[in-house]
């Protein structure tokens, strides 16, 4: 899962949110240098990723985009699923998306000094651009996929991937609808 899902699955704990948000940037055992609540969020992030990557329905989505994203198909599906989460927002939470965004930006901004160095550079742009909004529209998603592909060491056909995703939206949507309730249950049971 990507930003929207990781952030939602941390609500309403701000320390857990930060840990979950920075999870991809904290390598090895360096998570142990953070305060306890943030450690918990980092470990939750890892558990969510492991559950997601092993889920057979997610594997179906990954296989569908492999011709466009190759070995980066899994993180690309994470991004695509954030768009689908937004599309079905009211099915998975009673919290409005606007208040959720405000909470995320506020909690992360208050804790920005605890972010890893790589995020010290990115965070001001992410915060200023209200990065969660990018996942809510087709135009925003195309830009997110393009930017992500631009940071990868191997070429990825972000445009072809975007075209496939929006053409076959119902197929990806069915995958997501089968998967996300199981992830929420996994997290709620304290397994993540």
Q: Say how far residue 7 (Cα) sits from the centre of its chain.
A: 8
Rounded to an integer, what distance in angstroms lies between the CA atom of residue 79 and that of residue 73? 10
Helix axes 158-167, 56-69, angle to 10 degrees: 130
Rounded to an integer, what distance in angstroms lies between the CA atom of residue 24 and that of residue 20? 8
The model carries a pTM of 0.95
- Decide if pLDDT at 191 tops 90: no
Angle 28-29-35 (CA atoms, 0-180°, nearest 5)?
Answer: 130
Q: What is the pLDDT of residues 108-117, one digit of tens each?
A: 999 999 999 9
Q: What is the pLDDT of residues 15-70, one digit of tens each?
A: 999 999 999 999 999 999 999 999 999 999 999 999 999 999 999 999 999 999 99
Q: Mean pLDDT over residues 8-17, rounded?
A: 97
Rounded to an integer, what distance in angstroms lies between the CA atom of residue 54 and that of residue 26? 21
Q: What is the pLDDT of residues 164-181, one digit of tens each?
A: 999 999 999 999 999 999
Dig out the tokens for 18 from the structure. Answer: 């930060």
Per the listing, tokens 């939206």 go with 169
At 40, phi and psi to the nearest 5?
-60, -40
Angle 26-70-78 (CA atoms, 0-180°, nearest 5)?
Answer: 50
Taking CA atoms, 21 is separated from 68, 112, 119, 132, 157, in Å, by 26, 11, 10, 12, 26
């Amino acid at each position: 899962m990507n930003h929207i899902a990781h952030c939602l699955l941390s609500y309403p704990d701000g320390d857990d949110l930060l840990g979950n948000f920075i999870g991809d940037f904290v390598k090895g055992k360096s998570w142990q240098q953070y305060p306890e609540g943030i450690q918990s969020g980092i470990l939750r992030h890892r558990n969510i990723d492991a559950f997601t990557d092993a889920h057979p329905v997610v594997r179906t989505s990954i296989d569908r985009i492999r011709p466009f994203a190759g070995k980066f198909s899994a993180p690309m599906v994470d991004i695509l699923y954030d768009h689908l989460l937004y599309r079905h927002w009211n099915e998975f939470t009673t919290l409005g998306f606007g208040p959720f965004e405000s909470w995320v930006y506020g909690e992360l901004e208050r804790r920005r000094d605890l972010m890893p160095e790589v995020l010290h550079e990115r965070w001001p742009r992410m915060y200023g651009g209200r990065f969660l909004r990018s996942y809510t529209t087709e135009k925003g998603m195309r830009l997110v996929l393009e930017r992500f592909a631009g940071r990868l060491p191997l070429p990825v056909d972000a445009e072809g991937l975007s075209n496939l995703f929006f053409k076959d939206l119902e197929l990806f949507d069915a995958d997501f609808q089968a998967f996300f309730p199981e992830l929420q249950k996994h997290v709620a049971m304290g397994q993540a």
